[in-house]
Amino acid sequence: MLKALFSLLFVTFIWGATFPLQKIALVGVSPTFYIAIRFIIASALSYLLFGKGSFRYGVILGAVLGVAYTTQTWGLTLTTSTKSGFITSLYIVFVPIFAYFIEKEVPTLSQIVSFFVGSMGLYMISGRIDELNLGDLLTVFCAVGFALHVVLITRFSKRVDEKDLLFPQFLVVAIFNLILSLFFRNWRFNFFAFGSALFTAAFATMLAIYLQAKYQKVLGNNISALVFLGEPVFAAILSYLVLKETLSPRQLTGSFFLLASILLSSLERVRIVRSTNQRGRDEREGTF
C-alpha cells in the first residue's frame, strides 16, 4: 500500500516538475519543434514496449492531444509555470462537460458547482479579464483539450486495450508539431531543450503511464484523485524554488478555489463510478 502511494506521489511530483523544467528549456527554443522531439522519443519508446497499436482510434486521440500539448507548451512561454500548472489542472473540471455530449452522462449538481468554482479560481489566479494574457488563454484551451482527451480515451478503451492507443497518438502529436514547425519555419533548439524533451518523454510520459496503470488500482480512485491534486502544488513549489515565481494574495486565493473545484469534481466522479460498480454487482447477485 505504501509502495503504491509513494509511486503515485512520485508520478505527481514528476508531472509538477515538468512545468518549471520546460519553462527554462523553452527559452529561445521553438515550442512546436520541442514537442515534436519529445513525442518522437515517446513514440519510439511506446513502440518498443507496446507495439504499433490501433491507428483507428489513436489518430483521433493524437489530434486532440497534439492541440492540447501545443497550446500548453506555447502558453508556457507566455505565462508563469505556476499559473500554467494550476490552469492546466482545470481539465478535471471540464471532463463532465464532454462526458455529457459524448457519453450522455448528465453532470451532477456537484460537478456544475465545481465548474463555477473553478471558473472563479481561474479569474482570480489570472487577474481580471483584462489581465488575462495570451499564455493563460492558451493554457485554458490546453485544459479543454486534455478534458476531451480523457473522455475519448474512456470511450475508445472500451473497444481496444489502452496500451494500443499509445504509439499512434504519440506519433500523430510528433508529426503534427513537425508540420507546424515547417509552416512557421521555426527550428530553434539547443542541448538543454533536448535533455528536457528526453526527460519528459521517458519519465513524464512513459514511466508515469506505467506506474499509474500499475498502482492506481491498488490505492483506488478516491485516494489516487487526492494524490493527483498535488500536481499544481508541486509545480508552484518547484517554480518558487527554481524560478522564484510567487503568487499575489488574490492569485493564492484563486489557486485554492481551483484546487477545491478539482477535488469536488474528482470525488464526485469517484462516487459515480463506485455507485455504478455496486449496482452492477447487485444485479449480478440478483438483488434487484
Q: Count of alpha carbons within 13 Å of 138, Cβ hemisphere only?
A: 18
**Residue pair 245/125 in contact by the 8 Å Cβ criterion:** no
Taking 90 as the threshold, does the pLDDT of residue 283 lie above it?
no
Per-residue pLDDT tens for 49-63? Answer: 888 888 888 899 899
Q: Return the closest-CA partner of residue 232 out of 203, 197, 256, 266.
A: 256
3-state secondary structure of 177: helix
Residue 4 vs residue 266, higher pLDDT: 4
Q: Residue 154 and residue 54: Cα distance in Å, rounded? A: 15
Closest CA to 174 of 277, 283, 276, 63: 63
DSSP code per residue over 192-221: HHHHHHHHIIIIIIIIHHHHHHHHHHHH-H
Q: So what's the pLDDT on residue 287?
A: 46
In the block, cell 509511486 appears at 7
pTM above 0.85, yes or no: no
With beta carbons less than 8 A apart as the criterion, state whether 130 and 137 touch.
no
Instruction: Give residue 252's pLDDT band: very low, low, confident or very high (50, 70, 90).
Output: confident
Question: What per-residue confidence (pLDDT) applies to 233?
Answer: 81
CA 104, distance to chain mean position in Å, is 23
Per residue in 189-241, pLDDT tens? 888 899 999 999 999 888 887 787 677 667 655 566 567 777 788 888 888 88
Q: How high does pLDDT run on average in the chain?
A: 81
Asked if residue 179 has pLDDT above 50, the reply is yes
Q: Angle of helix 2-25 relative to helix 55-76, nearest 10 degrees?
A: 60
pLDDT at 220: 58
